[in-house]
Structures are given as C-alpha cells and as structure tokens.
A and B are shown apart, each in its own frame.
Chain A
Amino acid sequence: AQKVTQAQTEISVVEKEDVTLDCVYETRDTTYYLFWYKQPPSGELVFLIRRNSFDEQNEISGRYSWNFQKSTSSFNFTITASQVVDSAVYFCALSEALEGGSEKLVFGKGTKLTVNP
C-alpha cells in the first residue's frame, strides 16, 4: 500500500531562518502524483503544489521550493526566509489509484512548523 512518512513531527525556527520539511513515500505505482498542503489553525487544507512522478525538476515559487528525488523517494519542501505567517501544519500526500478511475490522497502525519518572531 502507499505510504507517506514525515519524520519531523514539530519544527520551531526563528523568523528569517530557512527550513526544510522532509517527505519520504512508498508506492508500487509507476505513475503517481505528490502534493503538499498547508493547514493553518483555521483547519482548511490549502493546496501548495502538485508534482507528477515523471517530472523531477525542482520547482521554486517565491520563498517556497520543492526538491523531488525519485531515486530516494523523497519530495522535500523548503521555505526560505521564513515568516510568522508560515506557521502551520504541513502535509505531504501521495495519490493512490482506486477502482473506477478515481484516486484518493494518502497523507503523511504532518509537520507542525512554528516560526517565532
């Protein structure tokens, strides 16, 4: 079965520090998608990025960057110059194909990031 491991349960940094959130996954599928979501205290899961298993190019979006390495089954997320507003729980997720053409997301346990002023 698919599995996502986020080994870091909680991380605390001081504002302007860079921080990397780790994500390791297991899958039998040759084609799959990886995601990162952010969950602020309000509870809503906010979509950040989706990456196809065939596209190993790193991606940068403002202060956010993602490093996808198929060889190590990792999809790590880095926040550069962190800000207090980045404080949230971050989830890594993996798509799992189901019968009938649908897919579900398999989530890691999440990493709680606290950015202190």
Chain B
Amino acid sequence: KAGVTQTPRYLIKTRGQQVTLSCSPISGHRSVSWYQQTPGQGLQFLFEYFSETQRNKGNFPGRFSGRQFSNSRSEMNVSTLELGDSALYLCASSLNGGVDTQYFGPGTRLTVL
C-alpha cells in the first residue's frame, strides 16, 4: 500500500504571498491531520479533517485553512505569508481519526523570504 504523499516537497515564497499544500492519504484512510514543525515550537497540531469536514483546529490564526475532498485528499492554505510561517508541514492520515494511529507523509518544507 502506498504511504501518505505530499506535494510539493519544497516551496520558497515571499512575505505576503499565499501557498497551497497538498496531501494524499493512505488508500482507505478517511481522516487527515496537519501539523507544523518548527525548531522553536516543535510539532504543533493545525487541524483535522474527516469526511470533508474540519473536526478540530489548533491554535493558529485564520490565515491557516484547509479542506478535504470526497476522495479524502486534503489541501491546506496559508494566506498572507509571514516569515514565521517557515516550517515543515506534515500531513498524517488515519483510518477514521479518533484513536487510530496516524501515519505521516514526508512533509512540505516551506521557506518564506
């Protein structure tokens, strides 16, 4: 079974731009979660989607948003980029969310200049 895939793997943007990251979960998995990883804050939960609905969101500003499609693929969007948004963005999929184990993709490394 193919693992979680994320595209693109690397991105360079400038302040004020917006960016869209994509995540394809493991086949059959219906829950997708997003995490941000930075050297200072570590790994932090962004949001979780299940059946095209956002079930929960972490403590991030409204500039961070996402969506999930009927095939469980998910995208996250960051608008009006700030230097502090530079991070590794990791997507994780699980069967149905909840206590199911989350399997992570390789991440998208975003650099904001």
Point out residues on A near B: beta carbons under 8 Å.
33, 35, 37, 42-47, 50, 91, 95, 98-110
Contacts and interface: CB of A to CB of B under 8 A. Distances in A.
Interface of B: 31, 33, 35, 42-43, 45, 48, 50, 55-56, 58, 88, 90, 92, 97-99, 101-107, 109
Contacts of A110: 42
A107 B43 CA distance: 6
Contacts, number: 61
Given A44-B105, A47-B104, A33 B56 contact: no
A42 B56 contact: no
Q: For chain B, what secondary structure do more than half of its interface residues adopt (helix, strand, loop), or is it mixed?
A: strand
A41 B99 CA distance: 27
Contacts of B48: 98, 102, 104
B102 to A, nearest CB: 6
Given A104-B45, A110-B42, A43 B99 contact: no
